[in-house]
Amino acid sequence: FLNPGGSSKDRIGIAMIEAAERLGLLQPGGTIIEPTSGNTGIGLAQAAVVKGYKVIFTMNAKVCQEKRNILNAYGAEIVVCPCGVAPEDPRSYYKVAERLVEETPNAFSPNQYANPNNPLAHYLTTGPEIWRDTAGQITHFIAGMGTGGTITGVARYLKEQNPDIRIIGVDAQGSLYRHFYDGTEGKAQGYKIEGIGQDFLPDTIDLSLVDEVITVSDKEAYAMAREAARKEAWMVGSSAGAVIAGALKAAKGLGEDAVVVLLLPDSGKNYLSTVFNDEWMEANELI
């Protein structure tokens, strides 16, 4: 959450754009179109501004106003789509993005849900940083699962160094990752946590690298994000709150010699109108 754009998605934004340039998929003056919960959009928008590309982002209506404002500040066009519709529904922010790519000349979609440069960015950067900064002593890595790029890239690198490192994925209650992991049937339900959870299985996640999945509710995630700010001075978002809540659940069975690394993906400054707004929290029955 201390990256320039306020999230870990800065890393995949530039990685996906530069890979597309090398492959000739993104031409000078082109338009980048992507479905996003905001953070990948911010990472892409930063790189696009510097490189001279236009950007259009589709997102569902639950994305907070702060993220929309940041994207507007970078000159992005935003298309807001309804929540609670299936991914294959033509109104979903996935399908709207696909349609816009078809209709827009010289357009390119990085498609963070299938782009191998998403996990690769974390394999090449985040994973090695964690290994180096813990002097190879890390025993557990805990992260949220959205596109799955972060947890997959980091896990692949860490397990290459030490196969005994345990990888714990944190999922939103209402998401289908728990069912995908367990191999059970389930139906996606609504949840308010932004940036983690999924109602389909992206190509960018490798669940075989995950040793455990912990599910966290909206109330747990939002309460923990607020507590992190007030007790630790960590200004982080709801997905980070979910990761902290999940880590506390996992910690109950760990010994004193465990070296646990959490990835807190984005800044709470993007959620002043939601996570840190008592009126919004009360209206959404989160406090």
CA distance 27 to 276: 41
Q: What amino acid occupies position 78?
A: I
DSSP codes of every residue in 148-187: SHHHHHHHHHHHHH-TT-EEEEEEEBTBSHHHHHHT----
Q: Which residue has the tokens 């510097």?
A: 50
Q: What amino acid occupies position 180?
A: F
Residues near 230 by beta carbon (within 8 Å), at least 6 away in sequence: none
SS3 78: strand
CA distance 278 to 237: 15
User: In this structure, is the dihedral angle defined by the CA atoms of residues 130, 9, 225 and 211, taken in order, positive or negative?
Assistant: negative
Element (H, E) at 260: strand 260-262
DSSP 82: -
95 is catalytic: no
Characterize the bridge pairing of strands 260-262 and 140-144.
Answer: parallel
Contact call for residues 234 and 213 (beta carbons, < 8 A): no
The distance between the two most distant Cα atoms of the chain, rounded to a whole number of Å, is 57
- The catalytic site residues sit at 9
